[in-house]
Amino acid sequence: MELRRWLIEQVDCGKYPGLVWDNESKTEFRIPWKHAGKQDYNQDEDAALFKAWALFKGKHRDGIDKPDPPTWKTRLRCALNKSNDFQELQEKNQLDISEPFKVYRLLPGGGPPSTPTLPLILRTSQWKTVSGQQRLRLLLLLQVNLMD
């Protein structure tokens, strides 16, 4: 919920060029997503949102820590992907243009996407460490939950 609130504030404040609502109902927004290798990349502008998230989370201290835009960007991307509040709309992303962006949807109530997803353990290498008996229980539990 922390990321949701913070990101809505950032979109609404208009401080970051390209960070805008993508629809009138304010349920989809664009995040500028310029690659650091681009000729016209400007760290102060193009990494500003990612830096702001790192500062907000205490992962970067201005004047103390060395600037690390790729890590800042990765941290925000991972936070968005991990969150139940957002869904990336890959079909709307424009990554091969001069001012590239990704589009995300705010999910109602911070819930998961409407399409069922596998529990995290089923999508990670930890699955290999789960015993056969535990796997069976997890799969049965998943089946029951999907039927509800």
Q: Both 137 and 85 in a single domain?
A: no
Same-domain check for residues 84 and 134 = no
Q: Are residues 120 and 106 in the same domain?
A: no
More confident residue, 39 or 64: 64
Same domain, 83 and 122: no
pTM of the full predicted structure? 0.72
Same domain, 52 and 22: yes
pLDDT of res. 140:
72
Please, what is the average pLDDT of the chain? Answer: 86
Residues 10 and 29 in one domain: yes
Same domain, 58 and 122: no
For residue 40, give the CATH number of its domain. 1.10.10.10
Model confidence at 109: pLDDT above 80: no
Is there a single domain that holds both residue 66 and residue 120? no
Q: CA torsion sign, 37 to 40 to 42 to 48?
A: negative
In DSSP terms, which residues pair with 101 in a beta bridge?
Answer: 32, 94
> CB count, 10 Å around CB of 142?
14
Query: pLDDT higher for 36 or 78?
Result: 78
Residue 69 or residue 131, greater confidence = 69
State whether 103 and 61 are in the same domain.
Answer: yes
Domain shared by 38 and 88, yes or no: yes
Q: Is the pLDDT of residue 115 over 50?
A: no
Phi, psi of 20, deg, nearest 5: -140, 160
Give how many domains the chain has, as a whole number. Answer: 2
**Full domain range(s) for residue 67:** 2-110
Mean pLDDT throughout 122-128? 59
Highest mean pLDDT among 46-60, 102-116, 122-136: 46-60
Residues 78-93 pLDDT 10s? 999 999 999 999 999 9
Tell whether the model's pLDDT for residue 70 goes beyond 90.
Answer: yes
The predicted structure's pLDDT at residue 63: 93
CA–CA dist 67, 48 (Å, integer): 11
